[in-house]
Amino acid sequence: MNGSPARVAIIGGGPTGIGVARELLAGGIDVDLFEAEGDFGGVWNGEAACGRTYRSLHLISPKFNTQLPDFPMPESYPPYPDHRQMLAYLRACAREAGLYPRTRFNAAIKTLVPEGEGWRLKSAAGHDAHYRLVIVCNGLQRVPRFPEPAYAGNFEGEVLHAADYKTADQLRGKRVLVVGGGNSGCDIAVDAIRTAETVHHSTRRGYYYQPKFIGGKPTPQWMMELGSKFSSKEETLAYIEEVFRLAGYDGADYGLPRPDYPLDGAHPVMNSLLLYHIGHGDVAPKGDVESFRGKTARFADGSEADFDLVLYATGYRRDFPFLDPALLEWKGGIPDLFLHSTPRNLDTILFMGFINAAGGLGDGLKTQGLFVLNYARALFGRTSGLERFLAAKRTDTPDLGQSYFIQSYRHQWEADLWKLLGHMRRYRDMLAEGASAKAEAAE
């Protein structure tokens, strides 16, 4: 690798790294992709250290909006593919785009240091090259995160994080407490009933539980097809909530706290089974943990129960071990990035895939990839569009819907999907300004 000026380095071979690389290649810009593991997949690579899958895992977003618009999943896939099918699909994407010959596997990045107009990249496999543009796509689910502040006392049983959960066999015959109300916590609580002696599920607040199907269609598809049936967003949400309630998916009907935020004010929990099993006594819902003593947990309502194992499904921290954190600007424990992707103080590095939105992967990947393509073209061509964008990212504060969501660590990078896509397209078009004139002048 000679680190040619028009070549881009991509760190991470998960969904975002694949999506960005295929758009760059299709746009005529070559890439070197670095992946720490032996094959593509990222969190879907269940056999690798970065994998976050377990035996029963299926997608929470349906096939129709998870697949890339220009590379559909096989017709044989069900509406909600399992993790093995998702992994096969991602590798098929990489193969179709010609990424395998351009990827350095088993090549974790050791250091990434500013050097001249770009970065000096060194990998654990011995690569050493300079790149004018680096795209970091190493994922959100890096380092397990536990409740902060930590619960009082000390639990003397077994402690497990969702990152290390692979099968319900790990819980066989044990009294299990699952902590965390997101999709992983809900899925694992349901999975646990097959083998555990007892299952309790601790959550801090009320949640909306959405079924995976309504009217024979994946719920997100059913929602999208409502279109402009109602005259306001409030009427639409009220209708959806009523349909969920009639279908048996109102947590308050099962004694759970009612959410104090709108239906779309938090990342959706897609689970058709949790309330069913609560209603059958298989899962015992509890509020927040107050403290531990020995193997006893005391909850905020004053009740107590004994457990053999506590499983924390409490999220992850980002991790860039190859990068000096002082190079980035931070806010709330995460990098403060324009559009959740672009450092305001650095112009030759982008962070892609570090955002959540209530929607499937496909449209977001395509939009992010095209944004990076236009950024690379503008950077290498030093276009008028680049100069305009660099000025804008230092001053603009585009509304991504951030203030609408509940206040929590993970919702710091939650965005309204349509606002996000709209702004990324707007700035992508800004970056394209002057590119044609540069190309004509070079001919």
User: pLDDT of 231-287, one tens digit each?
Assistant: 999 999 999 999 999 999 999 999 999 999 999 999 999 999 999 999 999 999 999
Q: Which of 166, 184, 144, 191 has the alpha carbon at shortest distance from 176?
A: 191
The domains located in the chain, with CATH, are 8-143+316-442 (3.50.50.60), 146-312 (3.50.50.60)
β-strand pairing of 175-179 with 309-312: parallel
Looking at residue 20, its amino acid is V
Average pLDDT, stretch 170-176? 98
Mean pLDDT value across the chain:
94
Vertex 423, ends 421 and 428: CA angle to 5°? 95
For position 402, what pLDDT does the model report? 85
pLDDT tens-place string over residues 115-144:
999 999 999 999 999 999 999 999 999 999
Helix axes 361-381, 15-26, angle to 10 degrees: 50
User: Percent helix, strand, coil in the chain (nearest 5)?
Assistant: 35, 20, 45
pLDDT tens-place string over residues 374-388:
999 999 999 999 999
Residue 417's pLDDT band (cuts 50, 70, 90):
confident
Contacts of 93 (CB under 8 A, 6+ apart): 18, 19, 22, 68, 71
For position 5, what pLDDT does the model report? 60
What does 175-210 look like in DSSP terms, one character per residue? EEEEE--SHHHHHHHHHHTTT-SEEEEE-SS---EE
Average pLDDT, stretch 17-23? 97
pLDDT at residue 209 is higher than 60: yes
Asked if 393 and 376 touch (Cβ cutoff 8 Å), the reply is no
Asked if 424 and 365 touch (Cβ cutoff 8 Å), the reply is no
Cα–Cα distance for residue pair 104/37, rounded to 1 Å: 9
Cα–Cα distance for residue pair 164/147, rounded to 1 Å: 17
Which residue is it, tokens 């009217």?
215
98: Cα separation from own chain's centroid: 25
Cα–Cα distance for residue pair 134/376, rounded to 1 Å: 10
Structure tokens at 171: 């819980």
pLDDT tens-place string over residues 293-306:
999 999 999 999 99
Residue 439's pLDDT band (cuts 50, 70, 90):
very low
Please give the helix or strand (H or E) that residue 284 lies within, else none.
strand 284-286
Lowest mean pLDDT among 179-193, 308-322, 396-410: 396-410
Asked if 132 and 348 touch (Cβ cutoff 8 Å), the reply is yes
Cα–Cα distance for residue pair 423/398, rounded to 1 Å: 7
Query: Does this model's pTM top 0.85?
Result: yes
